[in-house]
Amino acid sequence: KSGSDNKVSLSVDTGAGSAADTTALLNNLKLGQVSGGSISAPLSFTAAGTTSTLEAAGTNASVKIDGRTYTDLQDNKLQVNGVTYTFKKATPAGTTAQVTIAQDQEKLVENVKKFVEDYNKLLDDLHGRYNNNKYPDYEVLTKDQEASMSHEQVEKWNERAKSGLLYRDGYLRSIISDMRDAVTNRVGSAPGRYNNLAAIGITSKDQSGHLKLDENKLRTAISAEPDAVNQIFSHTDNDDNYGDNGVATRLAERLGKRMESLKSHAGMTANKSDRSELGKLIENYEKQMSDFKQLMSSFENQLYKKYNAMEEAISKLSTQFGFFSRQ
């Protein structure tokens, strides 16, 4: 194959002994049938003899895996039961190829390390909010106070004023407790000795509940019982038995319930249609403020009426006093 026209050139020895070899070569390459020194279809030439057209019918690859035959391959690739096979060449007739599937240990170790890291980050955030003290000297600013301050001063003030809103909050305490419970208790569905995080190298490193990972112990557990390690994290019990659920399933379940409880208590938006406990409380305060404004407006109107009546009375008295003083 050479040149800009991508022509294919085939050179053979023109000796008498090469004719049979040339015929066999062309026939095996499916470039045409050679008989008596001439080439017939599928390789054909135009009348001018300058161009050629090659037509050859292709056939689908056929693969048999575990007794089942597959012919719908795309780019010599096939996916069966979550495993992708890439076929490089055909196996000799009468032979089979053995495929061994092994757990990707490094990937699993990285996933566990990420779990421990994310768990500790979430725990740090919750502890930070739970232990964040309130600044008692920083009350909410009035509009007049904000008007007398710069934008930066207002932001810093409000940051202090909002601190401690979740100090020793009962909901946060329950969430932290649920997280510890989920990672410390054994997983009833996991068989054998690998039935809790401590058995595979994940333990608490301090009283705050932070997790630490022993990678060597984890790798040993994965090599010995990979299915058990998977059960510890991701098993979901069909009967919704909390003790049989994996750690990740427990966390998702408990945190989901806590979020629903928090939503019922505090709501999720600032919408006035919020029917949470705090939403109703805010609505009640707003109604009290509205009623108080109406009361003050009514009281103000009464004072104005009394003031006007008093002015009229004083004016009359002044007129009468002037009249008597002229007598």
The domain segmentation of the chain, as residue ranges, is 1-58, 60-93, 106-132+167-266, 274-327
Residue with the bigger pLDDT between 208 and 43: it is 208
* Distance in angstroms (rounded) separating the CA atoms of residues 109 and 111: 5
pLDDT higher than threshold 80 for residue 56: no
* Distance in angstroms (rounded) separating the CA atoms of residues 276 and 13: 94
Q: How confident is the model at residue 24 (pLDDT cuts 50, 70, 90)?
A: low
Residue 240's CB: how many other CB atoms inside 10 A? Answer: 10
**pLDDT confidence of residue 266:** 80
Average pLDDT of the chain, as a whole number: 83
* Distance in angstroms (rounded) separating the CA atoms of residues 158 and 140: 7
**What is the value of pTM for the model shown?**
0.61
Q: What is the dihedral of CA 18, 24, 26, 32, to 10 degrees?
A: 130
* Distance in angstroms (rounded) separating the CA atoms of residues 259 and 267: 10
Residue 52 β-bridge partners: 45
Which residues make Cβ contacts (< 8 Å) with residue 42, sequence separation at least 6? 30, 31, 32, 54, 55, 56
